Amino acid sequence: MATLRLRYNKWQARVARKGQPSISKSFLTRQDAERWGRQVEVEIERGIYQSRTEAERLTFADIITRYLAEVAPGLKGYKDEFIRLNALKRHPLTRHSMVALTPEKIAAYRDERLAKVGAGTVIRELASISAIINHSRREWRINMPNPVELVRKPKAPKGRNRILTDAEIGRIKEELKPAGRRSIWMLPAFELALQTAMRRGELLALRWADINMGQRVAFLQDTKNGESRSVPLSTAAIQLLDSIPRSLTGRVIPLTTCALEAAFKKATRRASLEDVHFHDIRHTAVTRMAKLLPNLIELSAVTGHKSLVMLKRYYHPSAAELARKLG
């Protein structure tokens, strides 16, 4: 049976078993100490006891800090994840101990964020929180349930199908032309994305050493889905690459993700275009390529989609064009 003693105006319960280290915890009332002692003894007898000391001692912010140091550097998109998780650390939610992260607190966080950002962003944030908690449970023996699993996720938004028109493309190109403090790399980045349908990360990671101008192929060593692939280069893409100045870094487009996104957003504002993201260039490029590569297997090999279901999210054929094909 647990032994109780009054120390510093708190009741300490201590459970000792032969061959095992003693377990103790302090409470404000004797009743809570007795209740905890009985629970621990039952769990020890059943062989299911796990210490909650670390979960009670560490805050969620502590766990995020360790995750950033030990796990995040090995993930794809580490720089973006680093920014997101450091922003999360500043939220009051992370001041709670791990055992105090209840489904109610996670749900309150969800509702607060939904009032500020879209459902897609909140879904990704909840997934990050869940991944961090699960990792701490598996690898660091933080004894707690995952409260995110008991929280209703927002309804996933429909996939974007924003396709840029020729007129919009022309306006964006005009606003991306180097002038004043505008980057000389933004216009080539936009045009190369339009010619190749590369993802933003693939485009920014592309190095001159990965391009075979003779065979007209760009080799992407590390893509979003974890597989390498070769991207065929059109005549227009080759001419574009010939015109791009060489950076000492060896990268074709020596920009950071944040710099590219910020510059593109400013350009679309100057062009008076609303709801345009850099990723929409990929949608536009894939839809254009589909006219030249009607075989979807060949098209998916170029774009890097592992399933035709995913490819359909990016390929948006015109109903009028389909009608003309039907005759």
Closest CA to 2 of 47, 45, 33, 43: 33
Active-site choice (224, 288, 313, 316): 224
Active-site choice (89, 171, 199, 283): 199
Q: Is 314 a catalytic residue?
A: yes
Active-site choice (96, 229, 266, 279): 279
Q: Which string of b and e fits 183-220 if b means at least 16 CB within 10 Å?
A: bebbbbbbbbbbbbbbbbbbbbbbeeebbeeeeeebeb
Active-site choice (25, 171, 251, 282): 282
Q: Is 282 a catalytic residue?
A: yes
Active-site choice (49, 67, 314, 315): 314
Residue 189: strand pairing partners: none
Q: Is 79 a catalytic residue?
A: no
Query: What is the sign, positive or negative, of the torsion defined by CA atoms of 151, 155, 159, 165?
Result: negative
Contact 259, 272 (CB under 8 A): no
- Torsion, Cα of 28, 29, 32, 35 (10° steps): 140
CA distances, 304 to each of 100, 146, 283 (Å): 43, 34, 13
Scanning 90-146, the segments in alpha helix (DSSP H) are 103-114, 119-139
Closest CA to 318 of 326, 308, 306, 309: 326
Q: Is 91 a catalytic residue?
A: no
Contact 304, 223 (CB under 8 A): yes
Active-site choice (171, 200, 283, 305): 305
Catalytic residue numbers read 199, 224, 279, 282, 305, 314
